Amino acid sequence: MKKIIALLLALVMVFALAACGEKPAENNAPAENNAPAEAPAEAPAEAPAEAPAENAVTVKAGFIFLHDENSTYDLNFINAAKEACEKLGVEYLLKTGIPEGQECYDAAAELVDEGCNFIFADSFGHEPFLIQAAKEFPEVQFCHATGTKAHTEGLANYHNGFASIYEGRFLGGVAAGLKLNQMIEDGTITADQAKVGYIGAFPYAEVKSGYTSFFLGVRYACPSATMEVTFTNSWYDPTLEKEGATKLINNGCVLISEHADSMGAPTECESNNIPFVFYNGSAADACPNTFIVASRIDWAPYMEFAMTCVANGEAIPADWTGTIATGSVKLTEINEQAAAPGTAEKLAEVQAALEAGTLKVFDTANFTVNGETLTEYLADVDDMGDFQPETNVISDGFFHESEFRSAPYFDIDIDGITNIDA
Partner 1 sequence: MNNKTREPLFHIAKRAALPWYRTWAIRGGALVLALIVCALITTLVTGENPLQVYVAIFKGSFGTSRKVWVLLQNVAMLLCVSLAVTPAFRMRCWNLGGEGQALIGGLAAAACMILLPGKLPNWAVIVCMTVSSILAGAVWAGIPALFKARWNTNETLFTLMMNYVATQLVAYYCVVWESPKGSGNIGIINPNTQIGWFPQIGSYKYLLNILIVAAVCVAMYIYLNFSKHGYEIAVVGESERTARYVGIKVDRVIIRTMLLSGAVCGLAGLLLVGSTNHTLTPTIVDGRGFTAVMVSWLAKFNPVWMILTSFLLVFLSRGAGEIATRFSLNQSFGDILTGVILFFIIGSEFFINYRIIFRRPAGKED
Residue 236, interface with partner 1 (CB under 8 A)? no
Residue 1, interface with partner 1 (CB under 8 A)? yes
User: Residue 422 Cβ, how far from partner 1 at the closest point, in Å?
Assistant: 13
| Whether the Cβ atoms of residue 65 and residue 130 lie closer than 8 Å to each other | no
Radius of gyration of the chain (CA): 25
Which residues contact residue 235 at a Cβ distance below 8 angstroms, ignoring those fewer than 6 apart? 73, 201, 202, 260, 261
Element spanning 365, H or E: none
State which residue, 58 or 419, has the beta carbon closest to partner 1: 419
Of 243, 380, 403, 413, which one interacts with partner 1 (CB under 8 A)? Answer: 380
One-letter amino acid at 308 equals T
Q: Where are the beta strands (DSSP E) in 319-388?
A: 319-322, 329-331, 378-379
- Letters for 140-179 (x = contact with partner 1 by CB under 8 A, - = none) are --------x-------------------------------
Residue 422, interface with partner 1 (CB under 8 A)? no
The runs of H, that is alpha helices, within 254-381 are: 264-272, 300-312, 343-356
The number of CA neighbours under 13 Å toward the Cβ of 405 is 25
| Whether the Cβ atoms of residue 280 and residue 294 lie closer than 8 Å to each other | yes
Of 43, 51, 81, 93, which one interacts with partner 1 (CB under 8 A)? Answer: 93
Of 110, 363, 403, 413, which one interacts with partner 1 (CB under 8 A)? Answer: 110
| Whether the Cβ atoms of residue 160 and residue 402 lie closer than 8 Å to each other | no
Q: In whole angstroms, what is the distance from residue 62 CA to residue 310 CA?
A: 13
State which residue, 25 or 356, has the beta carbon closest to partner 1: 25
Residues 213, 219, 221, CA angle at the centre, nearest 5°? 110
Pairing between β-strand 319-322 and β-strand 378-379 as defined by DSSP bridges: unpaired
Reduced to 3 states, what is the DSSP secondary structure of residue 219? Answer: helix
Residue 99, interface with partner 1 (CB under 8 A)? yes
State which residue, 132 or 182, has the beta carbon closest to partner 1: 132
User: Residue 191 Cβ, how far from partner 1 at the closest point, in Å?
Assistant: 33
State which residue, 20 or 365, has the beta carbon closest to partner 1: 20
State which residue, 207 or 293, has the beta carbon closest to partner 1: 207
Within positions 17 to 46, which residues make up the interface with partner 1, using CB under 8 A?
Answer: 17-18, 21-22, 24-26, 28-29, 32, 35-38
Which chain residues interact with partner 1 by CB under 8 A?
1, 3-4, 14, 17-18, 21-22, 24-26, 28-29, 32, 35-38, 68-69, 93-97, 99-102, 106, 109-110, 113, 124-125, 127-129, 132, 148, 202-205, 207-208, 233-234, 380, 383, 385, 387, 411
